[in-house]
Amino acid sequence: MQERKTLVLCVDRDDDIGYKAKVESPFIGREAALAAATALALADPEDSDVNAIFQGIRIYDDLVRKGEQAAIVVLAGNHTDMLEGDRKMAADLEQVIRLTGTSSCILVSDGAEDEFILPIIQSRIPVASVSRVIVSQMPNLESSYYTIKKLIDDPKVSRVFLVPIGLAMLLFAVATLMGYPEGATVIVLGVVGTYILFRVFGIDEIFGEGVSSLRSSLEKGRFSFVTSVSAIVLAIIGIVLGSAAVFENYTSEFTMGIFLYLISFLYGSLGWFTASALIVAIGKVIDAWMNDPASLPRVVVLPFFVVAIGLIAYGASVYTLSVSNLLTFPYTPSQGSQFITLCVVGGLLMAILGVYIQSILGRRGAQQAAAVAK
């Protein structure tokens, strides 16, 4: 009866080995694992994956010393894309199992993050044991400083926790210097709350995709790159002027509610936000016209809808503030009523015009396609 062979599996899910030491996994065998640990130790002696690999080598040596059949392997994922990295590790593991002929596994990791792939491993080979390596530290002030410094240097931690703290401090300082310490608390809470909601609902990922799209349009020489950059500048101006409108309507004698502060911000910034969105929409129309005429009917309506929504929202902000009895607001309630009526009518007309142009282009494209088919 053939003796069972154990696989000692060292896991580096975020691929510090490849990212820091510039060596490619998998590493099969004791010499290869030792070389990988040495390369990573020379690149970053403080990385805990070094200790995990050496622990795996020690377990392997103990098994061999006891006369058991064993093999050691170091697998690494992807430093920037965890999903793609997990797929890579799954494929590498299947190849390793075929090459080594192992029938059970001892998983060695440096923390819970690496053990996230435990179900993937168990679906391909039985896991007999899990060994987690924890690096010992002296509990003194120096080690506390070291830990904090490592957290600050870790992008995965700093982007989530340190960004809102730094942003809150910066906004509070700016508002205090501008002479509005009471309004500073409102602004800080609003901005930090918005940031948290962005993280919770994944809106930050949408912005990330926007940056990738911007980079792609630059590389392809699209006109939308210029319009997108211009739109970002206009949006920043809108944020500044919207904040100025909040400060302008703020008085210590009259305390506005959060809703009115938000409406004041929209009143001061909505024109710039609309112009920003309009420029982006025009860029998409121009790109479609120059590079993909078939998609033009689909995007030609965007500028008209942007103007329509901007007009209606701006009219609503003017009317809301005009009936709120603000001493600094220039419009009376009657003027606000007239303003929102004109804005709603203008917005509806713009939307109708956009839909009409879209239908004309759609019919023309259908006729051209029919002619080509004949």
Give the helix, strand, coil percentages of the chain, each rounded to 5. 70, 10, 20
**What is the mean predicted confidence (pLDDT) over 28-54?**
88
* Parallel/antiparallel/unpaired status of strands 27-28 and 5-12: unpaired
Structural domain includes residue 170 = no
Asked if residue 119 and residue 246 are part of one domain, the reply reads no
Look at 35-49, 83-97, 151-165, 280-294 and tell me which has the smallest mean pLDDT.
151-165
* Dist. CA 142–CA 140, nearest whole Å: 5
Q: How confident is the model at residue 65 (pLDDT cuts 50, 70, 90)?
A: very high
Checking if the pLDDT of 68 tops 80, the result is yes
Which long-range contacts link 15-18 to residues 24+ away (Cβ below 8 Å)? 15/76, 15/77, 15/78, 15/79, 15/85, 16/40, 16/44, 16/47, 16/49, 16/76, 16/79, 17/49, 17/74, 17/76, 18/76, 18/79
Residues 122, 124, 128, 130: is their CA dihedral positive or negative? negative
Structural domain includes residue 139 = no
Q: How confident is the model at residue 72 (pLDDT cuts 50, 70, 90)?
A: very high
Structural domain includes residue 22 = yes
Domain count, the chain: 2
Structural domain includes residue 91 = yes
**What is the mean predicted confidence (pLDDT) over 143-171?**
65
Among 117, 132, 147, the domain boundary falls at: 132
Checking if the pLDDT of 138 tops 50, the result is no
Structural domain includes residue 326 = yes
Residue 99's alpha-carbon distances to 12, 23, 73, 95, 121, in angstroms, are 20, 21, 11, 6, 16
Q: Are 280 and 223 in contact (CB under 8 A)?
A: no
Structural domain includes residue 116 = yes
Checking if the pLDDT of 217 tops 50, the result is yes
pLDDT, residue 348, reads 93
Structural domain includes residue 345 = yes
Among 97, 132, 167, the domain boundary falls at: 132
> Which helix H or strand E contains 70, and what residues bound it?
strand 69-76
Asked if residue 358 and residue 244 are part of one domain, the reply reads yes
When the pLDDT of each residue in the chain is averaged and rounded to a whole number, the result is: 79
What domain range is 261 assigned to?
Answer: 219-366
| Per-residue pLDDT reduced to its tens digit, 86-123 | 888 899 999 999 998 898 999 888 765 666 788 888 88
pLDDT, residue 62, reads 92
Q: How confident is the model at residue 252 (pLDDT cuts 50, 70, 90)?
A: very low
The set of residues, in sequence order, having a beta carbon less than 8 Å from that of 121 and lying 6+ positions away, is: 9, 93, 105, 107, 127
pLDDT, residue 57, reads 92
* Dist. CA 47–CA 131, nearest whole Å: 17
As given in the structure block, the two tokens for residue 123 are 């679906």
Length of the chain as a residue count: 374
Q: Which of 361, 347, 358 is nearest to 305 (CA)?
A: 347
Asked if residue 229 and residue 128 are part of one domain, the reply reads no
pLDDT, residue 170, reads 78
3-class secondary-structure state, position 80:
coil
Structural domain includes residue 117 = yes
Which range of 222-236, 305-319, 353-367 scores highest in mean pLDDT? It is 305-319
Q: Are 89 and 76 in contact (CB under 8 A)?
A: yes
pLDDT top residue among 107 and 186: 107
Q: Which of 58, 55, 60, 52 is nearest to 16 (CA)?
A: 52
Among 132, 159, 179, the domain boundary falls at: 132
pLDDT, residue 370, reads 66
- Report the phi/psi class of residue 75: left, alpha or beta, with left for phi > 0 and alpha for psi in -120 to 50: beta
Amino acid at residue number 67: G
Give the chain's largest Cα–Cα span.
Answer: 96
Considering the entire predicted model, what is its pTM? 0.47
Checking if the pLDDT of 1 tops 50, the result is no
Q: Which of 23, 27, 34 is nearest to 57 (CA)?
A: 34
CB atoms within 10 A of CB 133: 19
> Which helix H or strand E contains 127, and what residues bound it?
strand 127-132
Asked if residue 236 and residue 356 are part of one domain, the reply reads yes
Asked if residue 338 and residue 226 are part of one domain, the reply reads yes
**What is the mean predicted confidence (pLDDT) over 9-34?**
88
pLDDT, residue 23, reads 87
Asked if residue 237 and residue 356 are part of one domain, the reply reads yes
**What is the mean predicted confidence (pLDDT) over 311-337?**
81
* Dist. CA 304–CA 281, nearest whole Å: 9
